[in-house]
Structure 1
Amino acid sequence: MTVDTDKNPLALDFCGMHFASPIVLLSGCVGFGEEYTRVAGFSNRDAGAIVLKGTTGGARLGNPAHRIYETPRGMLNAIGLQNPGATAVVQDILPTLDFSETRFIANVSGSTIEEYVAVTRLFDDSPIDGIEINISCPNVKEGGVAFGNYPDMSAKVVAACRRVTSKPLITKLSPNQTDIQENARRCIEAGTDAFAVINTVMGMAIDAERRMPVIGNVQGGLSGPAIKPIALLKVHQVHQVAAPHGVPIIGQGGIVSARDALEFIIAGASAVGIGTALFYDPLVCSKINAGICEYLQRHGFDSIGELVGTLQLPGVPRISQAAG
């Protein structure tokens, strides 16, 4: 990661994409972007990038109801990748987006490697700024989880997508696996440019009166503050593997405040993903940005990049952030 030169302390270069802020709006939380950019009070410096809703080769209706359930300090969701299909997104939705506002990143999903490749190829021939490979979706019965939980399969998906695009590739890693560091290593070897760490954690909710699952899909992805400690650890672990190769990380999972975001950056994230927090405070990004700026000034940092990966471990040399 290199520091931007426009004197904005929050600006950064992420895999060649200019981010005006380290905040990335996460896939599935703001639809295909226009749902958030039209919110009153939105500024083009609020978010460095917006990740579009998960997109598959063909249209999907998603999972049966219920698909969202509020939990203590979090939210379960099992939308099931409802989307109009990649062709419709490229032809009908992308032309409506204002690419001068922020960077837009596609989220590619699929049930087979061939589907991932086909969708990636379509987005490669589009104005999209980058591509996130969703190999870790916990709320569909095929694809995602199987690919994301096994390093061999993860690497095969990344390598296949790498062959059909020159755009920045961001691999979204699952927390629901045995060894996230090994998975990260294999994905780096396969050609990923960056990581999104982490996706949601698998969970469920039960209606005790009916003795039935609340979520129609039985299981869903848990997000929100409840998973923050898990996400922080995973970012720290992946950073140890990624930093020597100059591979940056979008840290995500339960970030609702500037202090949350700062913890992820200190752990090794170059950018931070905001998702569940938007559901109860659509303007939380400006507050997080202001808090980060105040921290940087108070601690004598000129830019956000200087803070990345500065976690001090007792008796352990710190891994410096390699230039990306």
Structure 2
Amino acid sequence: MVNLKVQLGNITLKNPVMTASGTFGYGEEYADFMDLTALGGMVVKGTTLNHREGNPYPRMAETPMGMLNAVGLQNKGVDKFISEIYPRIKGYQTSIFVNVSGSTIEEYVQTAEKINELQHIPGIELNISCPNVKEGGMAFGTSCPSAIAVTKAVREVYKKHLMVKLSPNVTNIVEIAKGVESAGADSVSLINTLLGMSINVKTRRPELSTITGGLSGPAVKPVAVRMVWQVAQALKIPIVGMGGISSADDAIEFMLAGATAIQIGTANFVDPQITLKVIDGIKQYLEKHQLTDIKELTGGMITD
């Protein structure tokens, strides 16, 4: 028997495999394809203080080994989440995190305060890749002072597990990771999407209505693994790795680089059961290598 349980602060996950925000809806959408209780955790789609329609279409485009998206955080707002969605998903026997987004620190704080009252939501994932409208649209997560400020403000009102999702579109991700750790983050997740764009050469028009969008999928994995490894050298809090994971080997690679748990995103669109296959694959890897505890993988890269 192998132990697949991992600890994210005070939260025990039954295994290290989680779903990434924006790729798994609220879990309900996948309930017909898989047993949601098998998941270590689930991060529901981005939730904001108020209703958001999202960006105009087209807002998704395929790329070699990945995809671009500019959905724009379409959701009905936190109050609708609490009144309509939460009652339907609160019974799922897995750790549910809500991805919290906003355009101002005040919006982040108010949204987090409301979610803090939900008994069956043990944590939030703070999406600091959102544009800070008071700073001219620069993402909170691309400025260390802004990242610290929003994390600190949410930490003051949110009493459960605070995971901060880091943007890769920065010069020094370690500096920002250390900043949010000092501001009270219980864990960090990385990476969010890389900024990219695609042009249709037949029409000479951009593939996305917003011109640029977030690149995800296997193409970003080497960058994500590198960033997880760099951050793992500097932080004491747990790391949740993501970025192009589509197999058990991918997940194990992130863990060897220093991740305690992982999130699977784009691969859910290709194979709705990919998370279950990754869980099984990790278990088989441990058995094959005669390892009894999943924790032996975290930071286990051999360099000599």
Q: TM-score, normalised by structure 2?
A: 0.95
Distance of 2:2 and 2:83 partners within structure 1: 34
Q: 2:138, 2:17 → 1: CA distance?
A: 26
Distance 1:35 1:180, change over 3 A: same
Q: Give yes or no for contact 1:135–1:145 (8 Å, CA) kept in 2.
A: no
Q: Kindly state the Cα deviation for residue 8 of structure 1 after the two structures are TM-superposed.
A: 5.5
CA distance in 1, matches of 2:2, 2:110: 38
2:8 aligned with 1:21: no
Pick one of 188, 201, 204 that aligns with 2:181.
188
**Structure 1 residue 142: deviation in Å?**
4.7
1:260 aligns with 2:250: yes
Give, as a single letter, the amino acid of the residue that structure 2 aligns with 1:79: V
Aligned to 2:6: 12
What displacement does 1:300 show?
Answer: 2.2
Taking the TM superposition and a 5 Å limit, the aligned residue runs for 1:240-319 are 240-242=233-235, 245=236, 247-314=237-304
**1:122 aligns to what?**
114
| Paired amino acid for 2:55 | N
Q: Distance in 2 between matches of 1:155 and 1:29?
A: 27
8 Å CA contact 2:286–2:294 kept in 1: the answer is yes
Shift of residue 39 of structure 1? 2.3
Q: Any conservation in 1 of the 2:161–2:186 contact (CA below 8 Å)?
A: yes
- For 1:8 and 1:31, the matched residues in 2 are separated by 31
Contact 2:103 2:132 in 1 (8 A): no
Contact 1:22 1:270 in 2 (8 A): yes
How far residue 13 of structure 1 moved from its aligned partner, in angstroms, is 2.3
**Letter aligned with residue 84 of structure 1:** K
Q: Distance in 2 between matches of 1:165 and 1:289?
A: 31
Q: Give, in whole Å, the separation in 2 of the partners of 1:251 and 1:309.
A: 12
Asked whether the equivalents of residues 48 and 75 of structure 2 are also in contact (C-alpha less than 8 Å), the reply is yes
RMSD: 1.5
Q: Which 5+ residue runs of structure 1 have no aligned equivalent?
A: 1-6, 315-324
Q: Is the 8 A contact 2:132 2:140 kept in 1?
A: no
Aligned to 1:238: 231
Instruction: Tell me the alpha carbon deviations over residues 20-68 of structure 1, each in whole angstroms, 9 at most, x when there is no partner.
Output: 22111000011122112x12332512x1111011011100000011111
1:173/1:198 contact within 8 Å kept: yes
1:286 shift after superposition? 1.7
Question: Taking structure 1 as the reference length, what is the TM-score of the superposition?
Answer: 0.89
Structure 2 residue runs of 5 or longer lacking an equivalent are: none
Supply the AA of the counterpart residue of 2:289.
H
How many matched pairs?
A: 301
Task: State the AA in 2 paired with 1:12.
Answer: V
What corresponds to 1:3 in structure 2?
none
